Amino acid sequence: MSITKEYISILIPLILTVFASFMYSIIDSYFISLLGEEQLAGIGLVSPMNFLMISLAYSVASGVGIILSQAHGGNNLSRIKLYIFVGTLITMVLSLVLIVLFTFFETTIFNSYAASENIINYAKEYYSIWIYLILIEGIVALYTQSLNSIGKVKIATQIQISFLFLNIFLNYVLMFGVEGYIEAMGISGVALATLISKILMFIVLIIILKSQIKIVKSKKLLKIAYLKIMHLVPSVAMQGSMMPISMYIISILISKYGSSVIAAYVLTIRLEYIYLIISMATGSVVTILASKYEGQKQFSKVIDVFKLTNRINIVWGLVIILFTTFYIDIIGDLFLTEPETKKIFNFIWGIAVYGYIAWGLQITIQKMMLVLGFPKYSFYIALIRALVFFLGITMIMEYFFGLEGYVYSNMLQNYVAVGISTYIFFRIINHEKYKNVNII
């Protein structure tokens, strides 16, 4: 099978998997928007914490997935069980740490926003149920990635799509209620619907992966697996935390502009998942396929995967730009009711989409750095992007130009960051085993 055919055979089910995963947030936003813009703005205050949880969960899953793919490519089946078990322990510890941190700083986080009392109350109502999702999300992400890494991509896709439909059904039932049977719960019902869906998905994944999950008691093997995983995971996890932390600070900055701006910003963040569907799916293919070829020492094929991924991301970015040009008004009408909020959303989303091509290219480069064994470089790039460009430039431009400064800087920093990422990548790729491989 050619690389392109193998790539596409993995990519298509992964697109469906990522689509189903991201649609949870988009569907939740749609249902909550039916309640009102203050409710939509309320979940926006929880979004940075939610994004941090998801980023860390999928960062750890991605790091473990790279090692699993290399073990699977090398046909080392005993190591697969070991890595899944240790990955589970690491994910559980990280989840508990997040819960403790969010619980301890809950009051500080919500008090930092300049939003109205109603919006903050809606945020706290959603948060009171959402906090329990942290216990489940990390393990679900790890086990889904484990299925992908051992070649069971279609099964992972079927699970994600099935429970997405369950989530839609539960959203409607719990939010609006069933007369005489279930009381309408409003925004709490949306959070509870997601929590129930994820718990059931967790149970199904455990059942399917039971043959691959084995409790390991050997301290020597545990130490070997722990060190191998922790070579990647800390850098990946810190990298995953950079953007959510930056988002939290940006949310504080824009909360002073009122509920219309917050609602438009929240919708923009949620709709960014549409672009990320392809970027994250191709990133997962890099994790699976490039890691497999790296494990088999087929280095030219590793680079072929890299080049194919970049081409797909560029084409997808252009498609999103064209789609937005013609249909942005329809998107706003679907989620928003107030004319002023629609106007603000059209402005923010209309500019933001032009930065997504660079965003996708950067995701690919960072995944490749992980696969090739340079996790620290990947983290440094994320740190520079988050602190210097996303926060530094954005805060300066927002100070001088207001909301418009934030919107334009958010788009421009993607291209500056990908330029630096590309430069660093081409410098470190001149490794002995890749020096004779055509990278362009």
Count other Cβ atoms within 10 Å, centred on residue 97. Answer: 12
Domain range for 237 is 3-434
Secondary structure letter of residue 432 according to DSSP: G
How far is it, in rounded angstroms, from Cα 365 to Cα 362?
Answer: 5
Query: Tens-digit pLDDT profile for the chain (440 aa)?
Result: 678 888 888 888 888 877 777 777 778 878 888 888 888 888 878 877 887 787 778 777 877 877 887 777 666 666 777 888 888 888 888 889 889 998 998 888 888 887 788 888 998 999 999 999 888 988 888 888 888 877 787 888 888 888 888 999 998 899 888 877 888 888 899 899 999 999 999 999 988 887 666 666 677 777 777 777 777 777 666 666 666 666 677 777 777 787 788 788 877 877 777 777 888 788 878 877 887 787 777 778 888 888 899 999 899 889 888 888 887 888 788 777 788 888 888 888 888 888 888 888 888 888 888 777 777 777 777 777 666 666 667 777 777 888 788 778 777 777 887 888 888 888 777 665 555 555 55
Q: What is the pLDDT of residue 197?
A: 92
Taking each helix axis from N to C end, the angle separating 153-176 and 187-209, rounded to the nearest 10 degrees, works out to: 150
Residue type (1 letter), 316: W
The answer to whether residue 30 sits within a structural domain is yes
The answer to whether residue 367 sits within a structural domain is yes
The answer to whether residue 420 sits within a structural domain is yes
The answer to whether residue 410 sits within a structural domain is yes
**Interacting residues of 322 by C-beta distance below 8 A, sequence separation 6+:** none
The answer to whether residue 439 sits within a structural domain is no
Do residues 418 and 365 make contact, with C-beta atoms less than 8 angstroms apart? yes
Q: What is the pLDDT of residue 299?
A: 77
Q: What is the pLDDT of residue 112?
A: 83
Do residues 351 and 408 make contact, with C-beta atoms less than 8 angstroms apart? yes
**Interacting residues of 394 by C-beta distance below 8 A, sequence separation 6+:** 250, 405, 406, 409, 410, 413
**The two structure tokens encoding residue 295:** 């494990």
Residue type (1 letter), 375: P
Do residues 362 and 421 make contact, with C-beta atoms less than 8 angstroms apart? yes
Whose tokens are 């070579």? That residue is 231
The answer to whether residue 87 sits within a structural domain is yes
How far is it, in rounded angstroms, from Cα 126 to Cα 16?
Answer: 27
Q: Which helix (H) or strand (E) segment is 65 a member of?
A: helix 37-73
Exposed, middle or buried by CB within 10 Å (0-12, 13-18, 19+), for 19?
A: buried
Domains of the chain: total: 1
- Residue length of the chain: 440
Q: What is the pLDDT of residue 89?
A: 86
Distances in Å between the alpha carbon of 192 and those of 107, 123, 129? 22, 14, 6
How far is it, in rounded angstroms, from Cα 275 to Cα 360?
Answer: 9
Assign 182 to helix, strand or coil: strand
**The two structure tokens encoding residue 155:** 């099964």
**Interacting residues of 439 by C-beta distance below 8 A, sequence separation 6+:** 303, 306, 307, 426, 429
The answer to whether residue 440 sits within a structural domain is no
Q: What is the pLDDT of residue 325?
A: 80
How far is it, in rounded angstroms, from Cα 251 to Cα 403?
Answer: 12
Q: What is the pLDDT of residue 200?
A: 94
The answer to whether residue 20 sits within a structural domain is yes
